Chain A
Amino acid sequence: MSLVNFTTREITCKIVYYGPGRSGKTTNLHYIYGRVPESRRGRMVSLATQTDRTLFFDFLPIDLGQISGFTTRFQLYTVPGQVYYNATRRLVLQGADGVVFVADSQARQLDENLESLQNLQANLLDLSIDIRTMPLSLQYNKQDLPRELILQPVELDDALNFRNVPSFPADALHGNGVFETLKSITELVLRRLAQGAAV
């Protein structure tokens, strides 16, 4: 999918929220959904199980209106976190312009985070994408939990952020860090425009 379409004068950004199960990807989208004026957002499509686990994916289209003469739209997706939905994850990753990796800050979830990050790399490779070229931001979610249960951002950076991409502590449930992360990934994605990589 082309990011900028000069013929229709559209900029369409597809951003995928990736991460292990229950790390808070859908929560991110819900928070954004709640902050976007009604006139600018489409219906949030969420295919969830009865226990609120994402079964397929969430989809939130946002219309940013005319920017520099371009109709600018963001499409936010989440992938199902559970290990056995890998085919869906790969499907959702197709055509992504940027990825937000939502990590669970709980110390006991570190392995899941690492596994999911490796899974992201593998899936991108399957799609012939080098993770080093894909705009990526990290979000360390659930930082509102008691300190003894979670790892600090610095520790998480050491464990996960070996590419030194922008990372953000967050509490998606209350919205802390949600827009900062979105803004960061947006900048990374749009910066590629200037480098001419998108056309």
Chain B
Amino acid sequence: MTTSLNPKFTFDTFVVGAANRLAVTAARTVAESPGSAYNPLFIYSGSGLGKTHLLMAIGAAAKKLASDLNVEYLTLDEYVEAFHAAIAAGQGDAFRRRFQTVDVLLIDDVQFLTNRLEMQAELLRLSEALQAAGRQIVLTSDRTPVDIENLDERLISRFSGGLVVDIGAPDYETRVAILRRKAEERGAEFQPGVLETVAAASFANVRELMGVLNRLVAYQAVNDSPLNAEGAKQLLGIETRASGGHAAVASERTSPDEFAAFLTDVTTTVGKAVEAWRARIAEAILRWEGEGYRTRRLEALLEQETPIAPDEEIAAFARDVERLRVLEAEVSQFDPQAAGQSVFRDPERLAEAEEAATRVRAGAAPPPAPSAALPFSLFAVGSSNQLAVNVAREVIEEPGRRYNPLVFIGKSGVGKSHLLNALGLELARQPGAVVACLSTQAFIDELITALDGNRMEWWRARYRRATALLLDDIHLISGKDRTQEELFNLFNLFQDLERQLVFTAPAHPKTLQGIEQRISSRLEGGLVVELPEPDREVRRVVVQRALGAQEVPDDPALIDYLADRPADSVRSLIGLLQRVVGAAAAQDVPVSAGLAREVLEGGTAAERRRTVGFRTSGIVVSSAGGVRSREKIVWDWGAPADRLIEELR
């Protein structure tokens, strides 16, 4: 039922001139921020001037900017037909519900609402609902809302309530531009003056103009000799008048648009008079000047007496402009204000522009990188976490494409952060990679600082630049609406651009509280993989490595003993190990399995005394007279250095 958007109808293919500039600007604005700028946007113009093109361009652009937007394009007739079909099938409500969830509704040719009272009521209801929900409506018609016959007053006021804008018939220059672009698209070349001749003739609309161009292309394709301006005139039946001689003065007047005919003649004459190379350069100047670039370099060429080959010069100029564009776009990501510098508009100062861009690049702090202290090589792998590690490896091989987003879930201390950072480090190795890897808390804090300092654009640019975003403890965004909003936008951007997203969370995203549905559903959309409690194999590796780090000689009995101890996380295992090492240091004896058993099972005399208290009541009465709860006291501190690293992470 709904017509799909024609991929040819985009803003890029729409030739902008004085007569349609306002409409195009409004359309672009609407496409960039649907529902917030002009709602509804009502575009009217005569037939064949680009209403449908513009309407579809809005749809395409909106969809490009936010791929999850629900964009519907349809003509009023299609809408009416669908409505009738729905009513006939007894599905009127379903029909309404369907359209009420459209984010951008594009309806073409609403002038056909004339005398359709029930459709008017329906559309009124729909537009009320959509507008109330902040959804965008764009309508086109061949006349203003007021001029649509028998249109409900309420609809008139609703249609007129946003922005009503018209597309005028293109002026001569725009017509020439349209013809040139279309001819170029078709790879057709015409002699100077031919397209100008066509443009100068009065055509009511662009569609007719295209029809004429088609005829020219077809004619030229079947005839060997290229068409000249005079030939085009004859072919198209554009009136030609005797340019001299003594033709009797006719009593009745000829073509009303004498000026247009005159203009064509002048154009042809100038085309012949101005050397081709000068015309090429002058046109190039006009083009770049129109786009806001300094063209001194080309202007200097014009003043030369001797003919030059313009193509090379123009191509070189175009290359420089292209480079400036790239630099400008890059700089504007970091610092929109810096991108406004004139140096980015002057190809003669390309070197300066490069320097300026380098400065901005250097000044822009990259997003926080993964911790180098947690490489993949130090991550203990066993059968329990093999799946998660494999998934991580696949992501490293093909970031952004395989599992996006990837969410590691698991209890505290099972190695989620380690795996996240290790994955980040590997991703960062790839050429051109900018990996943002940080805790969600740090992410929120940065956002708040940026909000506070009015540097949101800068903040956003910093993350938009990243080729991968890895956030530890994503559940911390719970209840932080603004962070969720920003993350949502980043999320969409990263997914659109196939950039990798990795998160960690203590539990499955759908069970996390305080997280908006749109985010939790996106988190589930990739792959959620669990890191279970470490198995014996993992524990063995961890113990071995930790003992090695403490410079304890290799003792298989000790390693086996510690690896066999029940521990629900790597962190608690390290805790046990620290107790043993600490006890050995205190007693000044080597670390051994026996000592470990004594410390962890038998306990020292002091510890035995302490545990007696636990067994009896759980409450310890201290000599100082206070009551200490067993649950609230940490008896076994790990090495302080370990804890510090933990905090810094």
B250-270: which have CB < 8 Å to A?
Answer: 250, 253, 258-259, 261-263, 265-267, 269-270
Q: Which of B240-248, B424-432, B606-614 contacts A (4 or more CB under 8 A)?
A: B240-248
Q: Which of B44-52, B280-288, B357-365 contacts A (4 or more CB under 8 A)?
A: B280-288
Decide: A72 and B249 in contact? CB cutoff 8 A.
no
A177-198: which have CB < 8 Å to B?
Answer: 177-180, 182-184, 186-187, 190-191, 193-194
Measured between beta carbons, the chain A residues less than 8 angstroms from B299 are 6-7, 9
Bound-state Cα–Cα, A68 to B173, Å? 11
Q: Which residue of A lies closest to B241 (CB)?
A: A180
B281-305 interface bits toward A, Cβ cutoff 8 Å, 1 = contact, 0 = none: 1111110000000000001001100
The residue that A191 contacts in the complex, of B171, B259, B269, B278, with Cβ under 8 A, is B269
A119-174: which have CB < 8 Å to B?
Answer: 143-144, 153-154, 157, 166-171, 174
Decide: B272 and A194 in contact? CB cutoff 8 A.
yes
Bound-state Cα–Cα, A67 to B278, Å? 12
Decide: A187 and B269 in contact? CB cutoff 8 A.
yes
A59-99: which have CB < 8 Å to B?
Answer: 64-70, 72
Decide: A35 and B263 in contact? CB cutoff 8 A.
no
**Cβ-based interface call for B172 (8 A):** yes
Q: Which residue of A lies closest to B275 (CB)?
A: A194
Bound-state Cα–Cα, A182 to B192, Å? 22
CB distance from A67 to the nearest CB of B (A): 4
Measured between beta carbons, the chain B residues less than 8 angstroms from A193 are 270, 273-274
Range for the number of chain A residues in contact with chain B: 35 or more
A30-65 interface bits toward B, Cβ cutoff 8 Å, 1 = contact, 0 = none: 000001110110000000000000000000000011
Q: Which residue of A lies closest to B274 (CB)?
A: A68
Decide: B267 and A67 in contact? CB cutoff 8 A.
yes
Q: Which residue of B lies closest to A192 (CB)?
A: B273
Decide: A186 and B266 in contact? CB cutoff 8 A.
yes
Decide: B249 and A179 in contact? CB cutoff 8 A.
no
Measured between beta carbons, the chain B residues less than 8 angstroms from A9 are 282, 285-286, 299, 302
The residue that A72 contacts in the complex, of B192, B259, B266, B284, with Cβ under 8 A, is B266
Decide: B279 and A154 in contact? CB cutoff 8 A.
no
Q: Answer whether A68 and B279 are a contact pair too, CB < 8 Å, given A168-B244, A170-B249.
A: yes
The residue that B282 contacts in the complex, of A37, A68, A166, with Cβ under 8 A, is A68
Decide: A176 and B278 in contact? CB cutoff 8 A.
no
Decide: A180 and B270 in contact? CB cutoff 8 A.
no
Decide: B284 and A7 in contact? CB cutoff 8 A.
no
CB distance from B200 to the nearest CB of A (A): 10
**Cβ-based interface call for A4 (8 A):** yes
Measured between beta carbons, the chain A residues less than 8 angstroms from B192 are 68
Decide: A68 and B283 in contact? CB cutoff 8 A.
yes
Q: Which residue of B lies closest to A175 (CB)?
A: B253
**Cβ-based interface call for A11 (8 A):** yes
Decide: B258 and A179 in contact? CB cutoff 8 A.
yes
With most chain B CB atoms within 10 A of its CB, the pick from A65, A157, A191 is A65
The residue that A65 contacts in the complex, of B173, B248, B280, B285, with Cβ under 8 A, is B173
With most chain B CB atoms within 10 A of its CB, the pick from A37, A70, A177, A194 is A70
Decide: A153 and B246 in contact? CB cutoff 8 A.
yes
Bound-state Cα–Cα, A64 to B199, Å? 13
Decide: A69 and B266 in contact? CB cutoff 8 A.
no
Decide: B270 and A190 in contact? CB cutoff 8 A.
yes
Decide: B274 and A35 in contact? CB cutoff 8 A.
no
Decide: B246 and A154 in contact? CB cutoff 8 A.
yes
**Cβ-based interface call for B162 (8 A):** no
CB distance from A74 to the nearest CB of B (A): 8
**Cβ-based interface call for B532 (8 A):** no
Bound-state Cα–Cα, A180 to B262, Å? 8
Decide: B302 and A180 in contact? CB cutoff 8 A.
no
Measured between beta carbons, the chain A residues less than 8 angstroms from B366 are none
Measured between beta carbons, the chain B residues less than 8 angstroms from A191 are 269, 272-273
With most chain A CB atoms within 10 A of its CB, the pick from B261, B270, B279 is B270
Bound-state Cα–Cα, A70 to B279, Å? 8
Bound-state Cα–Cα, A166 to B263, Å? 20
Q: Answer whether A68 and B172 are a contact pair too, CB < 8 Å, given A169-B249, A186-B265.
A: no
Decide: A166 and B244 in contact? CB cutoff 8 A.
yes
Measured between beta carbons, the chain A residues less than 8 angstroms from B575 are none
**Cβ-based interface call for B382 (8 A):** no
CB distance from A161 to the nearest CB of B (A): 11
Bound-state Cα–Cα, A37 to B261, Å? 13
Measured between beta carbons, the chain B residues less than 8 angstroms from A176 are 249-250, 253
Decide: A7 and B302 in contact? CB cutoff 8 A.
yes
Decide: A69 and B241 in contact? CB cutoff 8 A.
no
Q: Answer whether A174 and B253 are a contact pair too, CB < 8 Å, given A64-B263, A69-B284.
A: yes
Measured between beta carbons, the chain A residues less than 8 angstroms from B284 are 69
Measured between beta carbons, the chain B residues less than 8 angstroms from A6 are 278, 299, 302-303
Measured between beta carbons, the chain A residues less than 8 angstroms from B273 are 190-191, 193-194
Decide: B259 and A35 in contact? CB cutoff 8 A.
yes
**Cβ-based interface call for B271 (8 A):** yes
CB distance from B91 to the nearest CB of A (A): 53
Measured between beta carbons, the chain A residues less than 8 angstroms from B241 are 180
Q: Which residue of A lies closest to B301 (CB)?
A: A6
Decide: B266 and A190 in contact? CB cutoff 8 A.
yes
With most chain B CB atoms within 10 A of its CB, the pick from A6, A11, A64, A67 is A67
Bound-state Cα–Cα, A190 to B241, Å? 20
Sampled A-B contacts (22; CB under 8 Å): A6-B299, A9-B282, A65-B172, A65-B173, A68-B192, A69-B279, A69-B280, A69-B282, A69-B283, A70-B274, A153-B246, A154-B246, A166-B243, A168-B244, A179-B262, A182-B262, A183-B262, A183-B266, A184-B244, A190-B266, A190-B273, A194-B272
Which B residues contact A (CB, under 8 angstroms)?
Answer: 171-173, 192, 196, 241-244, 246-250, 253, 258-259, 261-263, 265-267, 269-274, 278-286, 299, 302-303
Taking A154-B246, A171-B249 as known contacts, 6 extra A-B pairs with beta carbons closer than 8 A to each other, sorted by chain A number, are: A9-B285, A64-B263, A167-B244, A175-B253, A187-B265, A191-B273
Which A residues contact B (CB, under 8 angstroms)?
Answer: 4, 6-7, 9, 11, 35-37, 39-40, 64-70, 72, 143-144, 153-154, 157, 166-171, 174-180, 182-184, 186-187, 190-191, 193-194
Q: Give the 6 A-B residue pairs with the shortest CB-CB distance, closest first.
A: A69-B282, A193-B273, A68-B279, A69-B283, A6-B302, A194-B273
